[in-house]
Amino acid sequence: MKKSIEEIKSDYHLFADIQISKYLSRKNKSAFSDDKEAEFVIEEILNIYNEKIASDHLRLNNLNQAAKVSWFNSIEIDFEELNITDLPNNNIPELDIFTKELISSFDDIFYFLPEGAIIYLLLAGPALEAYGYLLERFNKITEGEEPTEIEEDLLNWAYDLVFEIHLAYFEKNKNKKDDFLANAMIIAEEELDKKTASDVVAKIYVNIKEFFAEFEEKKDQLKKKKKKRKK
């Protein structure tokens, strides 16, 4: 049975938390020294997760939480072999936990949407909930059940809405950002009343912000802990 999106994210974050804790413990410190070190460590953790964990679907799907913790703890990452100065200065979006193979499998399920649409559907929860679409039903589709024509239309609507809001989030020009958000409102109001549409657009915008900022927030938290210890 195919895992739900939340289960996939939970597995990755459990592995990352364990490996970050092991790394800091070996370095005898409570936080990363700077953003570059944090980016370096998270990049390598992500690579190892995709190589050794995500690729072993059968084992991962059949382990309980305690067994996962034991397995994840047993994996050793040799950070010393890597050169931190060679790490490119780019952010690491959470969507990297979705391997090409995994995204491809979802593309087959959501054949009526553009490639990679699962990333946007993952953020569409507020819209689907406001419409009255059950998360349980969405999970059934991700597990392989055929969507109805009505569901295909609904998911196309949700995808278009999130895509427009995502364009707004990354747009630096205020006028263009406002245009994208206005377009998002038009799309939202195709299925929702004006107030609900406005609330949904705002919630999805926050979801996108959190989705792409999670690693930055985690690094900030580690820095704050380090400063408190120094005091």
Element (H, E) at 163: helix 149-170
The count of other CB atoms within 10 Å of the CB of residue 26 is 10
**Alpha-carbon span 163 to 157, nearest angstrom:** 10
pLDDT for residue 161: 95
The count of other CB atoms within 10 Å of the CB of residue 138 is 22
Read off the tokens for 125. Answer: 């929860």
Residue type, 198: S
The pTM of this model reads 0.53
pLDDT for residue 117: 82
pLDDT for residue 227: 58
- The domain limits of the chain are 5-97, 112-211
Angle (CA) 13 16 17, round 5°: 85
**Alpha-carbon span 7 to 60, nearest angstrom:** 11
Q: Which tens digits make up the pLDDT trace of 141-193?
A: 888 888 899 999 999 999 999 999 988 888 888 888 899 999 999 999 999 99
pLDDT for residue 90: 36
Q: Within the chain, which residues score under 70 in pLDDT?
A: 1-6, 35, 81-103, 214-231
Q: Which tens digits make up the pLDDT trace of 135-145?
A: 888 888 888 88
